[in-house]
Amino acid sequence: MRTNEDLLASLTADTTLAGRTALVTGSSGGIGEAVARVLASSGAEVVVSGRDAARAQGVAQAIVEAGGRAHALTADLDAEPADVRAFAQRAEDVLGGSVDILVNNAGVYPGSFTETVTDDEMQTLWATNIRAPHVLVATLAPRMAGRGSGAIVNIGSWMARVGVPYKALYPATKAAVEQLTRAWAAEYGARGVRVNTVAPGATATRGNATRSDQLAEMAKGTPAGAPVRPVDVAYAVRFLASDEAAFIHGATLDVDGGIAATRLR
Protein backbone atom coordinates (compact mmCIF):
# COMPACT_ATOMS: atom_id res chain seq x y z
CA MET A 1 0.00 0.00 0.00
CA ARG A 2 1.38 3.41 -0.96
CA THR A 3 2.19 5.78 1.87
CA ASN A 4 0.37 9.00 2.61
CA GLU A 5 3.49 11.02 1.83
CA ASP A 6 4.00 9.30 -1.50
CA LEU A 7 0.39 9.90 -2.53
CA LEU A 8 0.54 13.58 -1.57
CA ALA A 9 3.80 14.03 -3.45
CA SER A 10 2.33 12.54 -6.61
CA LEU A 11 -1.07 14.25 -6.74
CA THR A 12 -2.29 14.82 -10.28
CA ALA A 13 -3.68 18.25 -11.09
CA ASP A 14 -7.28 18.46 -12.28
CA THR A 15 -10.01 21.08 -12.57
CA THR A 16 -12.69 19.57 -10.32
CA LEU A 17 -12.68 22.63 -8.04
CA ALA A 18 -11.30 25.21 -10.45
CA GLY A 19 -12.36 28.76 -9.66
CA ARG A 20 -13.33 27.97 -6.07
CA THR A 21 -11.84 29.08 -2.80
CA ALA A 22 -11.42 26.98 0.33
CA LEU A 23 -10.66 27.49 4.01
CA VAL A 24 -9.32 24.41 5.79
CA THR A 25 -8.91 24.79 9.53
CA GLY A 26 -6.12 22.94 11.30
CA SER A 27 -4.32 22.32 8.02
CA SER A 28 -0.70 22.78 9.04
CA GLY A 29 -0.36 19.01 9.40
CA GLY A 30 -2.15 15.68 9.50
CA ILE A 31 -5.59 15.30 7.95
CA GLY A 32 -5.96 19.03 7.40
CA GLU A 33 -2.73 19.28 5.44
CA ALA A 34 -3.82 16.41 3.20
CA VAL A 35 -7.19 18.07 2.63
CA ALA A 36 -5.60 21.41 1.73
CA ARG A 37 -3.18 19.79 -0.71
CA VAL A 38 -5.83 17.61 -2.38
CA LEU A 39 -8.28 20.52 -2.78
CA ALA A 40 -5.49 22.66 -4.23
CA SER A 41 -4.50 19.90 -6.65
CA SER A 42 -8.07 20.03 -7.96
CA GLY A 43 -7.88 23.74 -8.65
CA ALA A 44 -9.12 25.37 -5.45
CA GLU A 45 -7.34 28.40 -4.00
CA VAL A 46 -6.76 27.39 -0.38
CA VAL A 47 -6.19 29.04 2.98
CA VAL A 48 -3.94 26.85 5.13
CA SER A 49 -4.41 27.62 8.81
CA GLY A 50 -2.96 26.54 12.13
CA ARG A 51 -1.45 27.74 15.37
CA ASP A 52 2.14 27.42 14.11
CA ALA A 53 2.87 30.04 11.46
CA ALA A 54 5.98 28.27 10.15
CA ARG A 55 4.19 24.95 9.68
CA ALA A 56 1.21 26.59 7.97
CA GLN A 57 3.54 28.48 5.66
CA GLY A 58 5.40 25.27 4.87
CA VAL A 59 2.19 23.56 3.72
CA ALA A 60 1.18 26.59 1.68
CA GLN A 61 4.62 26.68 0.07
CA ALA A 62 4.39 22.98 -0.84
CA ILE A 63 1.08 23.68 -2.58
CA VAL A 64 2.52 26.62 -4.51
CA GLU A 65 5.59 24.61 -5.55
CA ALA A 66 3.24 21.93 -6.89
CA GLY A 67 1.53 24.54 -9.06
CA GLY A 68 -1.40 25.38 -6.78
CA ARG A 69 -2.55 28.53 -5.03
CA ALA A 70 -2.41 28.84 -1.25
CA HIS A 71 -2.16 31.32 1.61
CA ALA A 72 -1.10 30.71 5.21
CA LEU A 73 -2.94 32.19 8.19
CA THR A 74 -2.45 31.57 11.89
CA ALA A 75 -5.52 30.87 13.97
CA ASP A 76 -6.25 29.98 17.59
CA LEU A 77 -9.69 28.40 17.35
CA ASP A 78 -10.26 28.14 21.09
CA ALA A 79 -10.08 31.95 21.20
CA GLU A 80 -13.12 34.11 21.80
CA PRO A 81 -15.86 34.01 19.14
CA ALA A 82 -15.03 37.54 18.01
CA ASP A 83 -11.47 36.41 17.23
CA VAL A 84 -12.75 33.42 15.24
CA ARG A 85 -15.06 35.71 13.26
CA ALA A 86 -12.08 37.98 12.56
CA PHE A 87 -10.14 34.94 11.32
CA ALA A 88 -13.00 34.10 8.93
CA GLN A 89 -12.87 37.65 7.61
CA ARG A 90 -9.10 37.45 7.09
CA ALA A 91 -9.57 34.23 5.14
CA GLU A 92 -12.19 35.86 2.93
CA ASP A 93 -9.93 38.85 2.35
CA VAL A 94 -6.91 36.81 1.18
CA LEU A 95 -9.18 34.70 -1.03
CA GLY A 96 -10.53 37.72 -2.87
CA GLY A 97 -13.68 38.27 -0.87
CA SER A 98 -15.38 34.90 -0.48
CA VAL A 99 -15.00 31.36 0.85
CA ASP A 100 -16.74 28.77 -1.33
CA ILE A 101 -15.65 25.68 0.63
CA LEU A 102 -15.26 25.52 4.40
CA VAL A 103 -13.62 22.45 5.94
CA ASN A 104 -13.97 22.37 9.73
CA ASN A 105 -11.06 20.06 10.45
CA ALA A 106 -9.30 21.57 13.48
CA GLY A 107 -9.87 19.57 16.64
CA VAL A 108 -8.30 18.57 19.91
CA TYR A 109 -8.64 15.28 21.78
CA PRO A 110 -7.25 15.56 25.32
CA GLY A 111 -8.65 13.66 28.26
CA SER A 112 -8.55 10.18 29.70
CA PHE A 113 -10.55 8.91 32.65
CA THR A 114 -13.61 11.09 33.14
CA GLU A 115 -12.64 12.01 36.68
CA THR A 116 -9.19 13.19 35.57
CA VAL A 117 -10.30 15.55 32.80
CA THR A 118 -9.37 19.08 33.83
CA ASP A 119 -11.56 22.15 33.53
CA ASP A 120 -9.12 23.60 30.99
CA GLU A 121 -9.35 20.43 28.87
CA MET A 122 -13.14 20.55 28.95
CA GLN A 123 -13.14 24.17 27.88
CA THR A 124 -10.62 23.56 25.08
CA LEU A 125 -12.62 20.61 23.71
CA TRP A 126 -15.84 22.59 23.70
CA ALA A 127 -14.31 25.74 22.25
CA THR A 128 -12.25 24.11 19.50
CA ASN A 129 -14.39 21.15 18.44
CA ILE A 130 -17.89 22.68 18.67
CA ARG A 131 -17.88 26.43 19.22
CA ALA A 132 -15.34 27.31 16.52
CA PRO A 133 -17.12 25.36 13.75
CA HIS A 134 -20.39 26.94 14.86
CA VAL A 135 -18.92 30.44 14.70
CA LEU A 136 -17.34 29.81 11.30
CA VAL A 137 -20.54 28.40 9.84
CA ALA A 138 -22.60 31.22 11.35
CA THR A 139 -20.22 33.70 9.73
CA LEU A 140 -19.62 32.10 6.32
CA ALA A 141 -22.70 30.01 5.50
CA PRO A 142 -25.09 32.99 5.19
CA ARG A 143 -22.65 34.60 2.75
CA MET A 144 -22.49 31.37 0.74
CA ALA A 145 -26.29 31.26 0.78
CA GLY A 146 -26.41 34.84 -0.46
CA ARG A 147 -24.36 33.77 -3.49
CA GLY A 148 -26.52 30.67 -3.95
CA SER A 149 -23.79 28.07 -3.54
CA GLY A 150 -21.23 26.68 -1.14
CA ALA A 151 -20.00 23.50 0.51
CA ILE A 152 -19.19 22.84 4.14
CA VAL A 153 -17.46 19.63 5.19
CA ASN A 154 -17.04 18.88 8.88
CA ILE A 155 -14.52 16.34 10.13
CA GLY A 156 -16.09 13.96 12.62
CA SER A 157 -14.86 10.66 14.01
CA TRP A 158 -15.77 6.97 14.01
CA MET A 159 -15.90 7.24 17.81
CA ALA A 160 -18.99 9.47 17.68
CA ARG A 161 -21.29 6.42 17.49
CA VAL A 162 -19.56 3.88 19.73
CA GLY A 163 -18.71 3.79 23.41
CA VAL A 164 -14.97 4.18 23.94
CA PRO A 165 -13.62 3.72 27.47
CA TYR A 166 -11.49 6.50 28.92
CA LYS A 167 -12.49 8.91 26.15
CA ALA A 168 -15.97 10.28 26.78
CA LEU A 169 -15.76 13.97 25.89
CA TYR A 170 -13.97 13.85 22.55
CA PRO A 171 -16.48 11.45 20.94
CA ALA A 172 -19.28 13.54 22.42
CA THR A 173 -17.99 16.62 20.61
CA LYS A 174 -17.85 14.66 17.36
CA ALA A 175 -21.39 13.39 17.88
CA ALA A 176 -22.38 17.03 18.25
CA VAL A 177 -20.63 17.79 14.95
CA GLU A 178 -22.70 15.12 13.20
CA GLN A 179 -25.91 16.60 14.59
CA LEU A 180 -24.84 20.12 13.63
CA THR A 181 -24.20 18.80 10.12
CA ARG A 182 -27.77 17.53 9.84
CA ALA A 183 -29.21 20.75 11.25
CA TRP A 184 -27.08 22.99 9.04
CA ALA A 185 -27.99 20.92 5.97
CA ALA A 186 -31.65 21.56 6.77
CA GLU A 187 -31.02 25.24 7.48
CA TYR A 188 -28.87 26.17 4.49
CA GLY A 189 -29.42 23.44 1.90
CA ALA A 190 -32.42 25.04 0.22
CA ARG A 191 -30.29 28.14 -0.35
CA GLY A 192 -27.56 26.24 -2.18
CA VAL A 193 -25.18 25.36 0.65
CA ARG A 194 -24.46 21.68 1.14
CA VAL A 195 -23.23 20.51 4.56
CA ASN A 196 -21.79 17.05 5.21
CA THR A 197 -19.39 15.22 7.53
CA VAL A 198 -16.46 12.91 6.88
CA ALA A 199 -15.78 10.58 9.82
CA PRO A 200 -12.23 9.17 9.81
CA GLY A 201 -11.24 6.02 11.62
CA ALA A 202 -7.95 5.33 13.36
CA THR A 203 -5.72 7.59 11.27
CA ALA A 204 -1.96 7.43 10.94
CA THR A 205 -0.93 11.06 11.32
CA ARG A 206 2.34 12.52 12.56
CA GLY A 207 0.55 13.39 15.79
CA ASN A 208 -0.22 9.70 16.28
CA ALA A 209 3.30 8.53 15.45
CA THR A 210 3.96 7.37 19.00
CA ARG A 211 0.78 5.28 18.90
CA SER A 212 1.52 3.42 15.66
CA ASP A 213 1.37 -0.01 17.31
CA GLN A 214 -1.96 0.83 18.94
CA LEU A 215 -3.38 2.13 15.63
CA ALA A 216 -2.25 -1.02 13.82
CA GLU A 217 -3.91 -3.17 16.46
CA MET A 218 -7.15 -1.19 16.19
CA ALA A 219 -7.18 -1.56 12.41
CA LYS A 220 -6.21 -5.23 12.35
CA GLY A 221 -9.79 -6.41 12.74
CA THR A 222 -11.23 -4.14 10.05
CA PRO A 223 -11.91 -4.97 6.38
CA ALA A 224 -9.14 -2.56 5.34
CA GLY A 225 -6.70 -4.14 7.79
CA ALA A 226 -4.61 -0.98 8.16
CA PRO A 227 -4.94 2.51 9.64
CA VAL A 228 -6.53 5.25 7.56
CA ARG A 229 -4.14 7.56 5.71
CA PRO A 230 -4.89 11.31 5.88
CA VAL A 231 -5.08 11.44 2.08
CA ASP A 232 -7.95 8.92 2.16
CA VAL A 233 -9.95 11.39 4.23
CA ALA A 234 -8.93 14.21 1.89
CA TYR A 235 -10.27 12.38 -1.16
CA ALA A 236 -13.65 12.06 0.56
CA VAL A 237 -13.67 15.76 1.46
CA ARG A 238 -12.90 16.67 -2.16
CA PHE A 239 -15.78 14.51 -3.37
CA LEU A 240 -18.27 16.08 -0.95
CA ALA A 241 -17.09 19.58 -1.91
CA SER A 242 -17.46 18.87 -5.62
CA ASP A 243 -20.43 19.03 -7.96
CA GLU A 244 -20.39 15.23 -8.08
CA ALA A 245 -21.96 15.31 -4.61
CA ALA A 246 -24.71 17.76 -5.58
CA PHE A 247 -27.48 15.64 -4.05
CA ILE A 248 -25.67 14.76 -0.82
CA HIS A 249 -26.93 16.81 2.12
CA GLY A 250 -26.55 16.17 5.85
CA ALA A 251 -24.67 12.90 5.38
CA THR A 252 -21.82 11.37 7.34
CA LEU A 253 -19.35 9.53 5.13
CA ASP A 254 -17.27 7.03 7.09
CA VAL A 255 -13.67 6.77 5.94
CA ASP A 256 -12.59 4.34 8.63
CA GLY A 257 -11.67 1.07 6.95
CA GLY A 258 -14.93 -0.38 8.28
CA ILE A 259 -14.08 -0.03 11.97
CA ALA A 260 -17.47 1.46 12.96
CA ALA A 261 -19.61 -0.87 10.86
CA THR A 262 -17.87 -4.25 11.23
CA ARG A 263 -16.09 -6.41 13.74
CA LEU A 264 -14.14 -9.14 11.99
CA ARG A 265 -12.21 -10.32 15.03
pLDDT in tens, 116-162: 999 999 999 999 999 999 999 999 999 999 999 999 999 999 999 98
Catalytic residue among 166, 170, 188, 235, which? 170
Q: Decide if 170 is catalytic.
A: yes
Distances 141 to 59, 80, 138, 202 between C-alpha atoms, Å: 26, 19, 6, 30
Per-residue pLDDT tens digits for 28-63:
999 999 999 999 999 999 999 999 999 999 999 999
Domain boundaries, the chain: 15-255
d(CA 114, CA 116): 5
- Check residue 156 and give its pLDDT: 97
User: Can you give the pLDDT at residue 33?
Assistant: 97
Architecture of domain 15-255: 3-Layer(aba) Sandwich (3.40)
Mean pLDDT calculated for residue range 256-262: 90
- pLDDT tens-digit map of 177-204: 999 999 999 999 999 999 999 999 888 7
Using a 10 angstrom Cβ sphere, with 0-12 exposed, 13-18 middle and 19 or more buried, the burial of residue 121 is: middle
